[in-house]
Chain A
Amino acid sequence: MIRTIALLLLWFPMLASALSLSDSYLSLGFEHERLQGDWQVALSDIELAIGVDIDGNGEISWGEVQRKKPEIDRWLMANIHVQSGPSTCEINLGDYMVNELGSGVFLYVPISGLCGSNEEVSVEYTLLFDIDATHRGIATINMAGENQTVLFSPANPAVTLKDGEQSLFANAYRFLIEGIWHIWIGFDHILFLVALLIPIVLADKAYNNADKKVLDWTWKTPLPEILKVVTAFTVAHSITLILATLGVVSLPSRLVEIAIALSVVVSGLNVIFGFFRGRHWQIAFMFGLVHGFGFAGVLAELSLPREQLIASLLAFNVGVEIGQLTIVAILIPVLTLARAPMIRRVAMISAGFVVTIAGSVWMIERMFGYSLLSINTSIV
C-alpha cells in the first residue's frame, strides 16, 4: 500500500484546479413567528453521508432518493439547529425536488417551521463537517426584510443574528474600522495633516492671540492651534463626505485626487516657507473639503448598504476621526522632541522637502496616469 502511495505521489503534480468543492445552500426567512426557506444539498454529498445508491450501480435514481427520505430527513434535522430567543424552532422538511446547479445535482428540500420571538435567532449548522473539512454551508438569512449571507464552516458552525439593531451595530463597527484603516493607509491624507501640524509645533515662537505677546513654549502651547486645525479638517471633510455620499454633490474622482495631491504640495511648501502665516485652520478647512470627496470615493468602493446608509456613513467618519486623532497623538510628542535647537530648523526643512516631493510625485502620477512611486517588490 505504501509503495502505491509513494508512486502516486511522484506522478501527480497535485494543484487544485478541478471540480467543485462541496457546498450546500441554505435559505431561511423569519417573519413574525414563522420560518420559511429551503435547503439545497448535493446528491454526491448525500451519497457520502447516507449512501443513497441502494443498488450500487453508480447511479442515483429518484426512486432511491424517495426510499431514503426518512434517513435523509433525520440526517438533515440532526445537522441544523435553529433557536429563536430561548426556544428551539420546530422545523419541518417538505417534499423533495431536484435542482441542477453549475456545481452538480442538488436535492431541494423545502423548510418550514414555527419559532418564538424573532428578535434574536441562532443557527447551528454541522452538515458534513464530520466527513469533509472543506464543506461549507452558504446561508442567506432574512430577518425583518434584510438579507444576510452567512458562511458556515467547521471553524464557524454557528451564528447568532439579531434583527435590525444587531446588524446595524455590526455593520457600523465594520465601517468604523474601515474609516480608521483608510486614514492610516492613506498616505496623502496623513502627509497633509502632518504638514499642517509641523509648523505649529516647530514654530520658532508662539504668540498669545489676544495680546500677541510671545509665550514661553511648553508642550501644551500648540494644543489650541492643533485643536483648531484638526476640528476644521474634520468639519470640512465631514461636510463633503456626507454630501458626496448622499449624491448631493459630485466631482470627478481624478480631479479630486489631483487636488488632494496639490494640498500636500502646498502644505509641504508652507512647512519650508511659512506662507500660511497662522491661517492653518482656514487652510485645513479649505483642503478638508477636497479630502472629504476622496473619502467619499473610498466609501463608494465599500458598497455602502442602502438600508443603513446614514449609520454606516457616520461610523466611517467617526473611524476616520479616530484614526486621525491617533496619528496626532503619536505625532505631537515626536515633533516636540524635534524642537531641540540643533535640529528644529533642519527637521522642518527636511520634512517640508519630503512632503512637497511626495505631493508633487502624486500630482504628476494622477495628472498623467504614470506610477512613479511604485516600488513594486510584489505585484499585488
Chain B
Amino acid sequence: MRFTRNGFAQTVALTLSCLFVPLFALPGAVAAPFLPTSDGQVLETLSPSLIALSRELHNTNSTGTRVSSDQPTQEYQQRQLLERYRIALSSQDPRAYGNVLRLLETWPESFEKTEQVHLVHAGVLQHSHAFDAALVELDQVFKKNPQNDQALLMRAQIGLVMGNYELAMESCERLQLPFHPVLRVNCELQVKGVTGYAQEALQTFNEILSDPDRMLQDDRLEIYLSAGDIAHRLGQNALAQSYYRTAVELSPYSPYALAHLSQLLLENDEPGKMISLLEPVPESSLSLELKVLRALAWNELLDGSATDARHKPIAEQRVSQLNAELEDYFVGSRLRGEAFSYKEFSLYALTIADNPAEALEAAKLNWAVQKEPSDTLLLARAALAMGNKELLTTLEMWTDATGTEDVRLQRLFFPSVAVQP
C-alpha cells in the first residue's frame, strides 16, 4: 500500500502540517513582545540591500532627498527592473527578489519584453528553484538571440543543478564569452567534473590556477570554487581547502565559498575553525545553509572534548539559541506551504534535530528537483541513517550512470572498502 505514494503522502503531510498547525506553533507565539526602554533604542540595523531597495522604492537618493520621477517609459521601467535585480543579485535578499518578481508580474502589456527582461525573469525563477519555468524564459531569450552568452551560462547552471548534463554541456559548448574565455572552460570542466572526468578536470583547473594572474579578477572566484569542489569530491582535502580559502579571501561574504569551506572544516572535525570562519560575517549575509552548518558546528563543539568546563555554559547557551532559531525558522517557513528549503531542512533534521525520517523525506523532495553532488550526498546520508539500502543502491546506480565521483559517497555505498583519494 505504501510503495507508490510516498510522494503523495509527503505532500499531504506537508499540506496538513500547514493547515492544522496549532496556534502555539506560530513563530509569533514563541517570543514575547516587549516595550523598548527609550526612544533612542535601536530596534534594527538595516542591511545595505534593504537601504538600497528602500531608496529605490521611495525614489530618493543617498542623502534622502526625493529625486524627480522619470516618466514610466519602456526605458525607465527596464532600468528600474535592472537596478532592483542588481540589488537582489548582490544581496540575495528575498525581499529584493520579491520586488523584482512584482515588477515582472505587473510588466505593462504595451512594453516589450526584451532579452534583458526575459533574462531577469529567468534569473528570478532560477533563484526560487523553478528551473523548468526558468528554462522557458531562457527559450524566449534564445528566440531573440540564439547566442546570448548570459542565457547559455544560466542554462548550463540549471542543467548542472538538475543533473541534466547533456543540456549543460551543450550550453557550455555554445558559449563564446570573448572577454571571459576562462569561464567557458570553467563551464565545460564543471560538467566533466560530474560526468566521469573529474581527475582530468581537476588537472586542467590546477594548470589554470598555477598562473591566476592570467585570469580576470572577477573570474577567479568561480574557478577556485569549481576547482575546490572537484578536489573535495576526489578526496584531495588539503588542495580543496586551499582553493576554498582563496575563494573566501576573494569574496569574504560569498555564501557559496563559505558553505564549501565550512562543510570541509566540519568533515575534518574542525568545528572551532568553522565557527571562527563565520564570526566576521554579518548575520544578514549568512545563508540558511550556513546557519545550519554553524549550529551543527556548535553542537559538535559542545559534544566534543575540546570544550572545557569553563566554556561549556556558553556553548550550551549558544547551541540552545541557534537550534531554537532554526526550529523557529523551519516552523514559520513550513506555515507558508511554499518555497520550503528542503535541502537545508534535511541537513538540519539529520544532523541537529536527530530526525532521520524527516531528513530522508526532505532530501528526497530536494533530490527530485536538484541533483548536484551535495544533494546526492545528503540523500545518501539520510538513506543510510534510515537503513534504506534500496535507495542507496538506486543512488549508486545513478552515480555510476552519470559518472559522479565523490569519495564521501563511495564511503557510504561501500563502508567496508577503504576509498583512496
Point out residues on A near B: beta carbons under 8 Å. 1-2, 4-23, 25, 27, 38, 40, 43-45, 47-49, 51, 53, 56, 58-63, 65-66, 97-106, 108, 129-136, 138, 140, 142, 147, 149, 151, 154, 178, 181, 185-189, 257, 260, 294, 301-303, 305, 362, 365, 370-371, 373-374, 376, 378-380
Contacts and interface: CB of A to CB of B under 8 A. Distances in A.
Nearest to B94: A21
B26 interface: yes
B194 to A, nearest CB: 15
Interface stretch (B205-213, B231-239, B282-290, B296-304): B282-290
A126 to B, nearest CB: 13
A43 B157 contact: no
B153 A10 contact: yes
Q: Is the interface of B mostly helix, strand, loop or mixed?
A: helix
Interface in B81-104: 82-83, 85-86, 89-90, 92-95, 97-99, 101-102
Contact of B289 (A17, A53, A260): A17
Interface in B48-74: 48, 50-51, 53-54, 57-58, 60, 63-64
A140 B26 contact: yes
Given A43-B43, A48-B53, 15 more contacts: A13-B157, A20-B329, A23-B332, A27-B28, A51-B58, A56-B64, A58-B51, A62-B39, A62-B43, A98-B43, A100-B31, A105-B43, A185-B5, A301-B13, A379-B368
Interface stretch (B16-24, B268-276, B350-358, B407-415): B16-24
Interface in B249-295: 255-256, 284, 286-289
A99 B344 contact: no
Contacts of B136: none
A20 B94 contact: yes
Nearest to A294: B1
A355 to B, nearest CB: 15
Given A48-B95, A131-B57, A371-B390, A60 B335 contact: no
Nearest to B100: A133
B306 interface: no
B93 A19 contact: yes
A59 B44 contact: yes
A106 B332 CA distance: 14
A151 B335 contact: yes
B119 interface: yes
A185 B4 CA distance: 8
Given A16-B339, A20-B94, A133-B102, A371 B3 contact: yes
Given A56-B63, A61-B39, A102-B27, A136 B34 contact: no
5 contacts: A25-B27, A27-B26, A38-B28, A98-B34, A98-B36
Contacts of A19: 92-94, 284, 287-288
B242 interface: no
B199 interface: no
Q: What 10 pairs across the A-B complex have the smallest Cβ distances? A: A63-B39, A132-B98, A102-B328, A134-B98, A62-B36, A108-B33, A25-B28, A97-B33, A133-B101, A133-B102
A12 B339 contact: no
A47 B58 CA distance: 10
Contacts of A11: 218, 221-222
B183 interface: yes
B110 interface: no
A61 B41 contact: yes
Nearest to A188: B1
A8 B89 contact: yes
Given A9-B123, A103-B27, A134-B339, A62 B38 contact: yes
A185 B7 CA distance: 12
Contact of A135 (B12, B26, B89, B98): B98
A17 B3 CA distance: 31
Contacts of A294: 1
Contacts of A38: 28
B161 interface: yes
B33 A44 contact: no
Interface in B392-407: 394-395
B40 interface: yes
Given A48-B57, A56-B64, A131 B99 contact: yes
B396 to A, nearest CB: 12
A101 B325 CA distance: 8
Contact of B46 (A44, A65, A186, A187): A44
Contact of A18 (B32, B60, B94, B126): B94
Nearest to B11: A380
B28 A40 contact: yes
